[in-house]
Amino acid sequence: MSAREDGQARRDARNTWLLSAPALFILTFAAAGPLLIMLVYSFLTPGDYGNVVWKFSTDAWVGTVLSKDIFDGTYSLADAHLTIFWRSVKLSLITTFFTFIVGFPTAWIIATRSPRMRTALLFLITIPFWTNLLIRTFAINQIIRNEGLLNTFLLYLGVIDEPLLIIYSDFAVFLGMTYVYLPLMVLPLFAAIDRFDMRLIEAAYDLYASRWQVLRRVILPIVRPGIVAGSILVFIPALGAYVTPRILGGGRNMMIGNFIELQFGQGRNWPLGAALSVLLLVIVAVALVFYVRITSRESSNG
């Protein structure tokens, strides 16, 4: 390598660092920093009126899954916490599954339209992003509440005699999250299906595959990266959802997000809130590693 090429390479390397510096700065201080603070706080003692006392304690971490009896000091499983964790995981999984069931045909239809039609449909998919999440969730609330649009309409038609009790239930939370996160499933699926070579369908069909086999043996395995991306994009925010369960689930149907908020607010237990947050992060990370490993194994033994 000549001296000039060497200098050029060094300049390129320096420019690369310079260009990525702002991003690195933001990532370090805005993402890693708060995480570190949370981790530290989770090992401290709660103050009387919120905040923390700088005294080491593992109480918060024990408290995530166990509860201490105030009278005899014995530990038992914290049923309330576990119920909330379980509800969060369950609702997030169901939401991910249903956004896929609804999103796959939607993405397929968009990807197989003419270019003009496709642009228009994709535009429609992005419209919900224009409106604030809070307002959209309140809109859903207006539709499904006891005196809401849906019930009024059904009562008027005479289909039902009493309003359907949808609002403030797990089902309402699921409904709201499916609506909110659907675009996050549709867009990566669309990107994957758009790259899919439709001629492969004819090839499989020609080689004696039934319609179901074409879907299962050819289409789904090939668009799998889109399914993985969409599932991750829906599952992670669903697991940490705050606004939707707050507005549609009422006080009783809390998810982890609400529970964490509670610790920093009325609960006045910042270390527990911090420990729960870190735990949520760990659950997501473990679930991700697990999921990616499974899906990549399935595609490599094909």
Partner 1 sequence: MAQDDAIEARSSRKVYGTGPEAVVALDDVSIAIRKGEFFTLLGPSGCGKTTLLRMIAGFETPTAGQILLNGRDITDAPPNLRPVNTVFQSYALFPHLSVRRNVGFGLQMLGRPASEIDQKVERALAMVRLGEMADRKPTQLSGGQQQRVALARALAPSPEVLLLDEPLSALDLKLRKEMQSELKRLQHELGITFIFVTHDQEEALTMSDRIGVMSAGRLLQVGSPREIYNHPVNRFVADFIGETNFLPAEVSGGVATIAGGIAIPVDAGSPEGAHTIAIRPEHVRILPQDAGAAMRGTIAETTYFGTDSHVRLRLDGGADLVARYQSDTAGGEAPPTGAEVGVSFTPGAVQVLED
Q: What is the binding site for partner 1 (CB under 8 A)?
A: 197, 199-200, 202-210, 213, 217-218, 221-222, 299, 302
In terms of CB distance, is 68 or 217 closer to partner 1?
A: 217
Give least dist CB 194 to partner 1, A: 15
Give least dist CB 252 to partner 1, A: 46
Task: Report the C-alpha gap between 97 and 241 in whole angstroms.
Answer: 16
Which of 82, 52, 4 minimizes the C-alpha distance to 273? 52
- Those residues whose C-beta lies under 8 Å from the C-beta of residue 68, and which sit 6 or more positions away, are 62, 74, 75
Give least dist CB 189 to partner 1, A: 17
In terms of CB distance, is 21 or 220 closer to partner 1?
A: 220
Give least dist CB 215 to partner 1, A: 13
Give least dist CB 218 to partner 1, A: 6
In terms of CB distance, is 158 or 302 closer to partner 1?
A: 302
Give least dist CB 227 to partner 1, A: 13
180 residue type, one letter: V
> 145 and 167 in contact (C-beta within 8 Å)?
yes
In terms of CB distance, is 58 or 210 closer to partner 1?
A: 210
Alpha carbon dihedral 125, 127, 130, 132, in 10-degree steps, equals -70
> 184 and 226 in contact (C-beta within 8 Å)?
no
In the numeric block, which tokens belong to residue 144?
A: 């499904």
> 241 and 248 in contact (C-beta within 8 Å)?
no
In terms of CB distance, is 214 or 238 closer to partner 1?
A: 214
> 284 and 239 in contact (C-beta within 8 Å)?
yes
- Those residues whose C-beta lies under 8 Å from the C-beta of residue 191, and which sit 6 or more positions away, are 226
In terms of CB distance, is 112 or 142 closer to partner 1?
A: 112
- Give the residues across from 67 on adjacent strands: 76
